[in-house]
């Protein structure tokens, strides 16, 4: 295993230390237990947003803490859920008196630990609503999941719900927007290589030199099938078609097209995927009204990409366009 | 070779097509010859900025076209200089009547081809000044270079010169600012793995599983030496110390600390490197006043990172902070 790390046991803490030092105008860290929150603390009267999950998917979630998005993020160990004892103080810290929305990717450990944390926070009189993201169309049930997995679409939920909170929606309203985004976003990914969890030191799965895994999970969970390597346009179609069909996209609809890198893929390749995904959507009569391309929900150094499509309406488009100022997303 | 590409011969064009489609509010492409320019063309009365070089270093340079940075960028084939016939029209297109600054990384092919292109542009009555970046302290002369190589510090030159042009400096003034940035910025990198140029299909060099290359070039050119893999803190010190010493950094000085990913390294590792580089600077009494961490000057999917330090004064800090709106850098 070749990584720019010290003791793997310290990787998450040291990375968070570097992250908050580099972005001290936006975020601050708490170390016992560990979570990241907005500088200056909760915004009075605004619904707070908290997300979290296993580390290894950076910039998700700490990279999305800041104005217009999350108020706190809770990193677990690599590919492992944060504990309720970690999550609960983040929920409390994010409460500006208007309650907190927890955004949870649909993995069994995350869902359970957030549930317990919500009970702990509620015992401290913090009102919490939870929205579970499950945008991955590749498989029903998976290694760590009952039902569909939450993957890159989570970024869309966090961005748009964050904008809804910023405009003053109440907790039920922000939760409703988040639920609506999750209902209208779908993703599917491909892996060209496995990644290596630092604590294990070995690739998380074996993939022959001439094969790719279609429908890969962000922890290297199995997808739909393995195929021989194909040109990017063919692989992209294997990702885009199931997404478009699951969304029942109709001609004339507007969408956000989001091509996400898994961590080890050059951005030049992501744009090749984007180019073909956009062509395929346009061939369906779908209008790509907004775009996002880059490494936003990664699997350490995995090579691969995912394609996410979010059906837009005027309200969601406006919330997407609203100002955001985080380490990883800003406009 | 496993890449998300179609025919390697089409990789640059297809990637540019995707890039400009995704960022059509910022950039547009020209295909015969190929270059990328700001939507809306040259800004009347503003000094234009043009850079270019081999592809494979994305987001450099096209990702830095936009308000506050470059007016045009010229992508060569992967790791190969763009041709004079490509560069000249970009220089002409970037001219808003106040002349154009060409920012060229110090590689023999780039320097020669920009020189010829400048002559072609001057024949069309475009005044051009050229600044050559050579921030890499690792080696004097290299596989493609006489003198030091231009690497990640080029981003600092492009950002700050772009801000100087935006505030209305004339061509000599913008060139002087760019020259001053280049004189005060130094970098050094490390490779954990090689990368594979699509057209060749093979890794650009061999690096044993337990070794890293200290002082790597962004095309995989040899660095200072190979060592056994060490903890990140030790590797970071091997990068930061030569940079700090070459800059003759003194206690009390302000710097920008920029940790750049080579393309295949998770951002979590970049922040571990940043953490240690910052500690080492602080131990020297140096103040890290600004920071940048991410994949900005890459080598395809190479795993590794570089450390760049820019000595700041009030003027350079103000220009760094000035608004920028490009695909890859915005605030």
Catalytic residue among B23, B30, B57, B225: B57
Residues in chain B closer than 8 A to A23 (CB atoms) = 291
The CATH number for A8-184, chosen from 3.40.50.1100, 1.10.8.100, 3.40.50.10440, 3.40.50.1400, is 3.40.50.10440
* Domain definitions of chain A by residue range: 8-184, 185-321
- Tokens for B206, please give them: 């061999």
**How remote is the C-alpha of B145 from its chain's centroid?**
15
Distance from C-alpha of B76 to C-alpha of B242, rounded to nearest angstrom: 31
**Multiple choice CATH, B8-183, 3.40.50.10440, 3.30.465.10, 3.40.1350.10, 3.10.290.10:** 3.40.50.10440
Q: What's the mean pLDDT in A7-27? A: 98
Contact A293, A271 (CB under 8 A): yes
Q: Report, as ranges of residue numbers, the positions in chain B whose pLDDT lies below 70.
A: none
- Write out pLDDT tens, residues A213-265: 999 999 999 999 999 999 999 999 999 999 999 999 999 999 999 999 999 99
Distance (Å) from the C-alpha of residue A295 to the closest C-alpha of chain B? 9
Strand A66-67 versus strand A27-31 pairing type: unpaired
User: Hey, are the CB atoms on B298 and A266 less than 8 Å from each other?
Assistant: yes
A301 contacts in B (CB within 8 Å)? 264-266, 303
Residue corresponding to tokens 């920028």: B324
Residue of B48, B59, B55, B148 whose CA lies nearest to B105 = B148
Q: How far apart are the first and last CA of chain B?
A: 37
The active-site residue out of B23, B219, B248, B325 is B219
Give the three-state DSSP class for A164.
helix
Q: Is B219 a catalytic site residue?
A: yes
pLDDT band per the 50, 70, 90 thresholds, residue A177: very high
CB-based contact B22 A271, cutoff 8 Å = yes
Interface test with B, best of A55, A262, A268 (most B CBs within 10 A): A268
CB contact under 8 A, A193 and B271: no
Query: With pLDDT > 70 as the criterion, what percentage of chain A qualifies?
Result: 100
Coil/strand/helix, residue B84:
helix
d(CA B217, CA B230): 20
> Which residue in B has a C-alpha nearest to residue A263's C-alpha?
B266
Query: If you search the block for the tokens 């999950």, which residue do you land on?
Result: A53
Mutate to test the interface with A, among B192, B236, B271, B282 (most CBs of A within 10 A): B271
For B37, phi then psi, to 5°, come to -135, 170
- Minimum Cα–Cα distance from B265: chain A residue: A301
Mean pLDDT lowest among A75-84, A202-211, A284-293, B65-74? A202-211
**Residues in contact with B330: Cβ distance below 8 Å, sequence separation at least 6, in sequence order:** A330, A331, B66, B324
Concatenated DSSP letters of B16-27:
HHHHHHHTTTTE
Asked if A2's CB is within 8 angstroms of B268's CB, the reply is no
Catalytic amino acids of A?
A: 57, 219
Place of tokens 């590689």: B107
Total CB pairs under 8 A between chain A and B: 184
pLDDT computed for residue A145 by the predictor: 83
CA B326 and chain centroid, separation: 14
Indicate the fold that domain A185-321 takes in CATH: Hypothetical Protein Tm841; Chain: A;domain 3 (3.30.1180)
B18 min Cα distance to partner chain A (Å):
4
């Amino acid at each position: 295993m070749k990584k720019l790390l010290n003791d793997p046991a310290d990787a998450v803490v040291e990375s968070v230390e570097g992250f908050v030092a580099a972005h001290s105008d936006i975020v601050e860290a708490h170390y016992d237990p560990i979570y990241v929150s907005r500088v200056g603390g909760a915004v009075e009267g605004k619904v707070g947003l908290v997300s979290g999950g296993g580390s290894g998917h950076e910039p998700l979630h700490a990279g999305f803490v800041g104005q217009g998005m999350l108020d706190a993020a809770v990193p677990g160990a690599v590919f492992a859920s944060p504990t309720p004892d970690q999550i609960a103080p983040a929920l409390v810290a994010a409460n500006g008196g208007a309650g907190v929305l927890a955004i949870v990717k649909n993995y069994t450990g995350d869902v359970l630990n957030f549930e317990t944390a919500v009970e702990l926070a509620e015992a401290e009189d913090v009102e919490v609503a939870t929205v579970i993201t499950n945008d991955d169309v590749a498989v029903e049930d998976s290694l760590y999941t009952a039902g569909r997995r939450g993957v890159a679409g989570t970024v869309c939920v966090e961005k748009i719900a964050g904008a809804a909170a910023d405009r003053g929606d109440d907790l039920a309203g922000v939760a409703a927007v988040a639920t609506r985004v999750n209902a209208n976003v779908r993703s599917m990914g491909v892996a060209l290589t496995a990644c290596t969890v630092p604590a294990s030191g070995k690739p998380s799965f074996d993939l022959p030199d001439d094969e790719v895994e279609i429908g890969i999970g962000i922890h290297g969970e199995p997808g739909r099938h393995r195929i021989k390597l194909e040109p990017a346009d063919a692989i992209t179609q294997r990702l885009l078609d199931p997404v478009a069909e699951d969304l029942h996209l109709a001609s004339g609809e507007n969408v956000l097209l989001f091509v996400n890198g898994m961590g080890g893929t050059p951005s030049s390749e992501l744009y090749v995927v984007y180019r073909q995904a956009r062509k395929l959507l346009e061939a369906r009569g779908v209008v790509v009204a907004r775009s996002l391309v880059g490494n936003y929900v990664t699997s350490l150094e995995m090579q691969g990409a995912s394609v996410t499509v979010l059906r837009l309406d005027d309200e969601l488009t406006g919330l997407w366009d609203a100002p955001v100022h985080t380490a990883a997303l800003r406009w």
